Amino acid sequence: MVARFKVDSCFRPCKPNPQARIRLFCFPYAGGGPYTYRNWPDRLPPSVEVLAAQFPGRGSRLFEPPFTDLAQFVEESSRSLLQYSDKPFAFFGHSMGALVSFKVACHLRENNQPLPHHLFLSGRAGPRNLQGKLRISRLSDADFILELSRLGGTPKAVLENTELMTMMLPSVRADFVACESYIHTMESPLPCPISVFTGMEDAEFTQEQLEEWHTETAGSFSLKSFPGDHFYLEMEQQLLFDTIANSLTAVE
């Protein structure tokens, strides 16, 4: 049976591909959306269908209240992706998206649902490092925007557009609240392999913190670095796509 897109789904195919043999669900960084992954279908094999998450408070869901609790992201994602579970699937998540995708996999396991065949986790330390204290999310608007500028990933033209930032700030701040208030609970290792990606110039996390993802899988583990900073993936490096493609091809 071919899965069909539902209006209430938080996942949108970047390019519908009913002939695909495996699906890659992509989760955004704080304040991000599907546009980050819009070109990925053209950079991955035709056997892969890319679906990107669009959460409330951005894009076509701009006027929906944003989530402020990581559990909300997990619940909606888990419910939404099940309509596409008629084929093998994998997860890619960057920064906040890495944490969300990991917790979605744990949630699926807890509820005896199909599990991803591979987790690609990017730009995020292992969850045992993330004992939340509200930090960036409590800054004033002016200081919050300065911090976004320091982190990168948001075009300067957007940061300097007062009207646009007024619209965006509630959802971006809510994302940081969700991440910074997260308290990790110990989970038994997932059966699926985990690949961790990072930018060589990303100073947000240490090598040791990234390697702690190793404890979250009973399968294989790898850690790869690519040229660039925390938002290295926006450079659309072919080596990144080749690495993902090789792992997904092994699943088909």
Active site positions, annotated: 95
Tokens of residue 185, six digits: 């609970």
Tokens of residue 27, six digits: 């989760």
The whole-angstrom separation of Cα 26 and Cα 217 is 19
Tokens of residue 131, six digits: 């004992």
Pairing relation of β-strands 11-13 and 48-53?
A: antiparallel
The whole-angstrom separation of Cα 12 and Cα 49 is 10
DSSP secondary structure string, 34-46? GGGGTTHHHHS-T
Taking each helix axis from N to C end, the angle separating 70-81 and 162-180, rounded to the nearest 10 degrees, works out to 90
Cβ atoms of residues 95 and 122 within 8 Å: yes
